[in-house]
Amino acid sequence: MRIHIRHVAFLLLSTMVAGCSAGSPGVASAFDTASAAASPSAKAAAASQGPLDVLPVPAGATPWKSNTNAPMSRAAFVHVFYIQNAWTDEEAQYSRRGFVSGLREGWINADGPQQSITIARFATAAGAASTLDDLKGSWKQQPKPVTMLADPAIGAVGMSNPTLDSLGNARVEFAVTVGDYMIRVQEFTAATPDPADAKALLQKQYDFLKNGS
């Protein structure tokens, strides 16, 4: 039962922290929406990969206000992804899995949809695999119209939820492990979610972690 509660807490916060898309004007999250001072990240696209080898924000996209461009501690990572009453249990769980550091970077694309990349590094591949299994289990618990997705070529799993959340966004996600890393990609859009873009972003991040290119 604790596992079920943990999944619910994770999923609730995952939708709460997504900002607005161009298709939902006037609805925004202070957590993720880019600040007025942020400029489209043409420079970031030309920059080298960031901490934990996360890909740079694409050219023409605006970084989320919450981006830190720095690795997060276990506590900081848990606080991003879980509601407060789950923090103690989750920090203990991530400690058992050998969490080393994590990072979440997101952006608003020029055409409206938002994307994010989360990378979590563990002391062993088993820790990364356990976290992916937990995430997959949380997706499977969701009622229809949520559907499960997969990318067998790299062993990735995913989900698509066309139901608009409180910010007016549907979402699609994919996740995969690469050695002792777990990668999670999310896309938020006011339109019907298209898994192709999220899958392509995951593949690009996967290839960089695995092959360095």
AA letter at 20: C
Calpha distance 60→40 (Å, rounded): 5
Contact 127, 134 (CB under 8 A): no
Band (212; pLDDT cuts 50, 70, 90)? confident
Tell me the per-residue pLDDT of 88-127, one tens digit each, with 9 for 90 and over.
999 999 999 999 999 999 999 999 999 999 999 999 999 9
Calpha distance 81→77 (Å, rounded): 7
pTM, two decimal places: 0.80
pLDDT for 50 equals 63
**Whether pLDDT at 208 is above 90:** yes
pLDDT for 49 equals 54
Q: Do β-strands 181-189 and 170-178 pair in parallel, antiparallel, or remain unpaired?
A: antiparallel
**Whether pLDDT at 40 is above 60:** no
Read off the tokens for 57: 């924000």
AA letter at 24: S
- Compare 167 and 2 and report the one with higher pLDDT: 167
Tell me the per-residue pLDDT of 66-92, one tens digit each, with 9 for 90 and over.
998 899 999 999 999 899 999 999 999
Burial of 170 (0-12, 13-18, 19+ CB in 10 A): buried
Strands (E) in the chain, as ranges, are 62-63, 99-108, 114-122, 147-151, 156-161, 170-178, 181-189
Q: Residue written as tokens 């942020």?
A: 38
Q: Residue written as tokens 């407060």?
A: 84
Percent of all residues in the chain with a pLDDT value above 90, rounded to a whole number: 71
Q: Which residues contact 153 (CB under 8 A, 6 or more apart)?
A: none
Q: Which residues contact 112 (CB under 8 A, 6 or more apart)?
A: 21, 22, 23, 189, 190
CATH number of 2-211, picked from 1.10.3470, 3.40.1000, 3.30.450, 1.10.12: 3.40.1000
User: Using CA of residue 5, residue 9, residue 15, residue 16, what is the dihedral sign?
Assistant: positive
AA letter at 101: S
**Whether pLDDT at 169 is above 80:** yes
Calpha distance 74→92 (Å, rounded): 9
pLDDT for 36 equals 34
Band (213; pLDDT cuts 50, 70, 90)? low
Task: Describe the chain by its helix, strand, coil percentages, rounded to 5.
Answer: 35, 25, 40
Q: Residue written as tokens 């997706």?
A: 139
Q: How many CB atoms lie within 10 A of CB 177?
A: 24
